[in-house]
Chain A
Amino acid sequence: MNRGAFINFLFLLIYKHRSKHIAIFCISTLMIMLLSSVLFISSSIKYDVFKTLHAQPDFIVQKIRGGKSVDIDNNLTDDFIKISGISDVQSRVFGRYFIANQMEYFTIVGVDFFEEELESEFKQLFANLDIKRFLQQDNMIVGDGVKNFLRENHYKEYFNFKTPLGETKKITIYQTLPKKSNLIGNDIIIMDIELAREILGVDENKATDIILNVPNDAEKDNIKFKLLSLHYDTRVITKEDIKNSYEHLFNYKSGLFLLLFIISLLTFMLILYQRYSMINSNDKKEIGVLRAVGWSIKDVLKLKILETLAIGLWAFVLGVVFAYIFVFVLDAPLLRDIFIGFNNLQNSVSFTPVIDFGLLFSLFLFFMVPFVASVLIPVWKIAIIDPVEVMK
């Protein structure tokens, strides 16, 4: 069989059968778009979150009293640095600022801009910041969600914070965090550490927690044991603990989407079953005619498989392209909120284009195999019957 003539006839048949294929094509494209969107969003979030995690310190030490985390003494940093194997010890000041009448909260992060051991994440963020100018007056850098919230409440240039002592502290918005950091930075306010102490009510000799690194992985368990035995009233959180809690969160959300996946697949199977049972008398006549004019069973099957494959492939590619545009260009309206959540400030996150090709290939197989089988099986059943019987 001449390949060119066969391909010409294949495309001619697809074009002539377009009204027959349009419904299954549209449903398949929509389903692939939905499922690919979920894959893209989850891959993108995981990528961003775990990238952030990579920049986290190895250990976070918090002071515990009555089962609750309380401010920790700053001078403990001196004790920690003496333990061999520990480096980059640094105290942090951060906390939540609650706006009762709006039932919203911001996360205030105090930064010592002159600290040499500044976290790498911050170093990147402040690479282009004129620190001298920033510290000349009470300034803050806000996340996208904070900026929008303040603007809605008529604070376009500044916000008046209330300190625990009842004083008002006017702080000017110096700049906004880049939109790409929204996943983490949406509700964050970054300010000078002393200013943060004032607003959050953290004493000068106290900190929210202490972070430190342990360069030798083999030493991590020993160091954790030493820290806990020296300071029985502390809690040591490792990078691994944070990673596990992130994974639990994503597994929970992925579980919800697994349900969506199963429902979509079941719907798709039902559509395929309908398609399977709708191989009608016209299809039977076509197969019979082709066999009568000299086409072999192999040729007929090849034609029908390729016809179905072409439609399935177009639907898949189009679905993936639409999903890419939906997630990475339009920022996945509606679907985004299910993943990101909007229990606090509404987040207008921008997704980093990350594609998990392994998962995409699995989706391709899950889609294509039943799609082709739904046509192949009935066509094969018809093709092996005598053509005369088929055309009757």
Chain B
Amino acid sequence: MIEVKNLNLTFNQETKQEFKALKNINLTISKNELIILKGVSGSGKSSLLSLISALLKPTSGEIIIDNNPISKLPEHHSSKFRAENLGFIFQSFNLFDELSVAENISLPLIPLGYNQTKIDKRVKEVMKLANISHKAYQNIKDLSGGEKQRCAIARALANDPKIILCDEPTANLDRKNSLLFIKILKELKNLKKTIIIATHDPLFDEIPFVDRVINIEDGELL
């Protein structure tokens, strides 16, 4: 379970450029829930995802995941927490362009202490799941947008995370690939993952298997 309590995030605090990205957020997300975090660009949805994944530290308040106060963990422990529990799908994919699909997918498995055989086995499994096995040894720079997205999904699944966070996952995809992503999303939901998707894509309004839609505006939950 994810609990967000009195969360505030302020950039450039106590300067002329001070900006309150998130204001007093309180939120509880149950296990296996699929949540759509909806809002326009700059509303604070990406910041909230970054805080939940411990990529950012809040200005005040806290985030507790399965009784772990992840917003207060020191860097080494928050990295370990991410490696063991989280999968992240970014808007711009954030893949290593010069590495192959398989090599990119193996990245989250290295800090987990897997040996090479175990890494190769797991990479094969998730490539199959994300339907990207046929491009395993191709470099990222030679892939289409949809293929890059599937590679990013496979990488997010590699460590078998409890929570998957998606930041504008369809922003760089055409309609066909966006629908394909939604299909994969359904499979992930069936795998009992907790999924949080930050998006402003109207395509997600039509999805029947979404548990909850949370609207966010100017850093506040509506």
Contact = CB atoms under 8 A, between A and B. Distances in A.
A299 B98 contact: no
Interface stretch (B23-31, B81-89, B175-183, B193-201): B81-89
B56 A12 contact: no
A383 to B, nearest CB: 9
Contacts of A5: 109-110, 114-116, 119
A309 interface: no
B40 interface: no
B94 A391 contact: yes
A1 B111 contact: yes
16 contacts: A2-B115, A5-B116, A5-B119, A6-B110, A12-B103, A282-B97, A289-B94, A292-B53, A292-B94, A293-B83, A294-B112, A296-B75, A297-B76, A386-B55, A388-B55, A391-B90
A290 interface: yes
Contacts of B53: 292
Given A1-B113, A5-B115, A294 B75 contact: no
Contact of A388 (B50, B83, B97, B103): B50
B148 interface: no
The 8 closest A-B pairs by CB, nearest first: A294-B83, A296-B79, A293-B108, A16-B98, A294-B82, A388-B50, A294-B111, A388-B55
A302 to B, nearest CB: 11
B38 interface: no
A289 B113 contact: no
Nearest to A19: B98
Contacts of B107: 289-290, 293, 295
A2 B56 contact: no
Contacts of A290: 107
Interface string A1-38: 11011101100100011000000000000000000000
A329 B91 CA distance: 59
A9 B94 contact: no
B8 interface: no
B45 interface: no
A266 to B, nearest CB: 33
Contacts of B76: 296-298
Given A16-B99, A299-B111, A386-B56, A291 B106 contact: no
A2 B114 contact: yes
Interface of A is mostly: helix
A295 B96 contact: no
A128 to B, nearest CB: 62
A289 B94 CA distance: 6
A387 interface: yes
A95 interface: no
Nearest to B82: A294
Interface string B98-132: 11000100111111111110010000000000000
Contacts of A388: 46, 50, 55-56
A291 B94 contact: no
Contact of B110 (A9, A17, A282, A298): A9
A292 B96 contact: no
Given A388-B50, A391-B94, A292 B82 contact: yes
Contacts of B103: 12
A292 B155 CA distance: 11
A285 interface: yes
Interface in B33-79: 46, 50, 53, 55-57, 75-76, 79
A288 interface: yes
A83 B90 CA distance: 96
B80 to A, nearest CB: 7
B157 to A, nearest CB: 12
A286 interface: yes
A295 B110 CA distance: 8
B170 interface: no
Nearest to B107: A293
A286 B96 contact: yes
B55 A292 contact: yes
Contacts of A1: 110-111, 113
A296 B111 contact: yes
Given A292-B53, A292-B88, A17 B108 contact: no
B8 to A, nearest CB: 16
A289 B110 contact: no
A281 to B, nearest CB: 12
Nearest to A15: B98
Nearest to A10: B110
Nearest to A16: B98
A291 B79 contact: yes
Given A386-B56, A388-B56, 4 more contacts: A9-B106, A12-B99, A286-B96, A391-B94
Contacts of A16: 96, 98-99
B80 A293 contact: no
Contacts of B114: 2, 5
A290 B79 CA distance: 10
B116 A295 contact: no
A381 to B, nearest CB: 15
Most buried by A among B53, B79, B80, B119: B79
B104 to A, nearest CB: 9
Contacts of B106: 9
B172 to A, nearest CB: 15
